[in-house]
Structures are given as structure tokens and as C-alpha cells.
Amino acid sequence: MDKPEKISIYCFSGTGNSAKVAGWMQEVAGERGLPCEVINIGSRTSAPPEKPEHGELLVFTSPIHGFNYPPLMLKFLLRFPRGRNRVVLMNTRAGMLIGKFITPGVTGIAFYLTALILVLKGYRIQALKAVDMPSNWISLHPGLNHPTVVYLHQRNLERVKRFANRIYDGKPFFRCLLEVYDLLLLPVAAGYYFIGRFFLSKTFVASADCNLCGKCLEACPVKAIKLVDNRPYWTLSCESCMHCMSYCPSKAIESCHGSVALFVLGWNLLMVWLLSQIPVVKEWSAEFPFLMWLARYLVFLGLFSVWYYLIHHLMRFRVVERMIVFSSLTHFRFWGRRYRALKKF
């Protein structure tokens, strides 16, 4: 394959991992005297992307969310103009460490789906590369410790630079396709895209430590946070990229595990009661399982949003605020280290 004449790296990043990888790719391009631009699609306006020039290599990089690229990235790729250029698809995913072994994250359907979108637009895929950066999903697991974060940066820096040299020499790279079992995750990825992400968007709260600096509202890549009752409120368009939580200068943003657990418990009790009191619900569930599951989910999400709205307003009372904050795992030191990609790499 020909060597590129110019490189454009389109990047979306919540906590800096994908931006870091884009920066490393740009550094190698610079060392080789190749013109290279990194375009942050998180901060772009809705203006359509420009048509790529002849000889321009396109690189896309973004985190994996729910075994797929996040909606922001997918929408961007769908809007991308048609072309015949070569494309490199990259992602950063949840790397962890056991001893000196980096446990890989899971790409799921991200590469298959986006490669298909781009090929249908006329592009040629040159390479696919997943980079196992430190996981940023601290709503789900305790934040990684500093030595682990440093080690993962060091190892990935070497790997990405090797990869970049290979790509800029015009060589292909498709080792990720060996992870073909990822395709089995299609139903889970669809479940996350159509359902899970909306649920997650309603799990963030701002504690009394919030001083209304407005940084989370400004920096949110999908403008999902607004002020309600004079406190940040997360709308359904939140993509849980963790930017707000990780960059809040007052560390005031929490994942409200306790309130979610209470709601889920209440919901399950309600379901048991409904099934025992209204037999027709049971019959319909057996007869139309998918429709009933969908209806149940929509009611669940609706009630959960109402619950979130109530909690949000009740948090103006100190006692409720303290209960919510102290039942949030992210509030505690053993769990809630905030994660940001390291500047020094």
C-alpha cells in the first residue's frame, strides 16, 4: 500500500485515553515529517465533516462503551462524507493489570459495525487496533491505582508507536479480527445502545461539594448536563463518558449506587406484587415475551427518571443529600479515585 501524504485523526475521548493515543499517533507522524492533524469530535459543532483529500489517511479513535463505539462516534461516522481513502480504526478499552499481564478490554461489535459503515461509503480499511488503556469506568469498579495506570501508559505508548510506524509505512494490521467471539456480544451491545446507556445517564448526582463552577456543563461533549434547581442534572443524552466526574475540580460528582439499588429493589417488589395480583400480566408475558419485556423496560426507565428527578430535588435537604452521597461507592477512598489519562506520557 502507498504511504500516506497527510493524516487526519478524528478523536473522541471522555477521560483522555483516546486523546492520548491520538497524540502518540500524531507524534510518530511528526517524527516522520508527515503532516498530521488531530480533530476532537467531542467539541465539534454539528457542522458536517469535510470530504477527505486524495492521499489523506483517516484515523478514528474513541473509547468503547458497552461493547461498541459510543453513540457520538457512531453518529459522526454516519455523517462522514463518502470517499475512497484508507482508514485506520482504533479504540481504547478497559485495560487492567494482573501481575505484569495486561488483561484486555472487550471491543465487541465496534470494529465490525464501523468498518461496515465506512466500507459502504467507499473507504478501504487498512488497520484495526484496540489499545488497552486504564479502565475509566469507576461507576462500575474501583479506580485503578497509580502504579497500574503508569505501567499501562508506558506499555501502550510503545505498542502504539510500533503500530503507527507500521501504518505510516503503508502496512495493514488486522490482528483484532482474531477476537471474532466479540460478535457474540451483539445482543449485549444492542441492549446497551438502546437501553443501558439511558439508565446509566440517570445515575450521576452532584453532592453539596458542588460550587456551581459550571465546568461540567461546559465540557460535556454531548451537552447532557443542565442546571435544575441550581444543581447539575443529567439528562438522557448523557453518554456516561466519565468526563464530568473525572474533571470536576470539587470531586462533587458521584454515581448514586445506593439510590439505584433502592429503586431496583422497589421495582422488583412491585413486579412480584403485580404478577400475583393481576394474572393477565403473567399470561401476556408468556404470550408476547418481547413486547412485554419492552413495555416493562420502558415503564422501568420512565419510573427511574421520575425517581431521579425526585432524588435530585430532595437532595436540597441535607439529610437526603448525605444519605445519597454516603451510599455512593464513588464517594469512598477505597473505590472512588477519579481517572484521567496521565499528562506526562
Ligand X SMILES: Cc1cc2nc3c(=O)[nH]c(=O)nc-3n(C[C@H](O)[C@H](O)[C@H](O)COP(=O)(O)O)c2cc1C
User: Which residues are near ligand X by CB under 6 A?
Assistant: 13-18, 63-67, 92-94, 105-106, 108, 133, 135-137, 240-242, 341
Q: How far is the CB of 144 from ligand X (least distance, A)?
A: 10
Q: Which is nearer to ligand X, 38 or 314 (CB)?
A: 38
* Nearest CA among 116, 45, 125, 34 for reference residue 78: 116
Contact between residue 339 and residue 138 where contact means Cβ atoms under 8 Å apart:
yes
DSSP 121-136: TT-EEEEEEEEEEEP-
Q: How far is the CB of 66 from ligand X (least distance, A)?
A: 5
Contact between residue 321 and residue 207 where contact means Cβ atoms under 8 Å apart:
yes
Question: What is the C-alpha separation between 189 and 196, in angstroms, rounded?
Answer: 9
Q: How far is the CB of 19 from ligand X (least distance, A)?
A: 6
Q: Which is nearer to ligand X, 85 or 203 (CB)?
A: 203
Question: What is the C-alpha separation between 252 and 198, in angstroms, rounded?
Answer: 22
Q: Which is nearer to ligand X, 8 or 201 (CB)?
A: 201
Contact between residue 61 and residue 11 where contact means Cβ atoms under 8 Å apart:
yes
Q: How far is the CB of 335 from ligand X (least distance, A)?
A: 15
Q: How far is the CB of 22 from ligand X (least distance, A)?
A: 9
Q: Which is nearer to ligand X, 94 or 167 (CB)?
A: 94
Q: Which is nearer to ligand X, 4 or 14 (CB)?
A: 14
State the residue number with the nearest CB to ligand X. 105
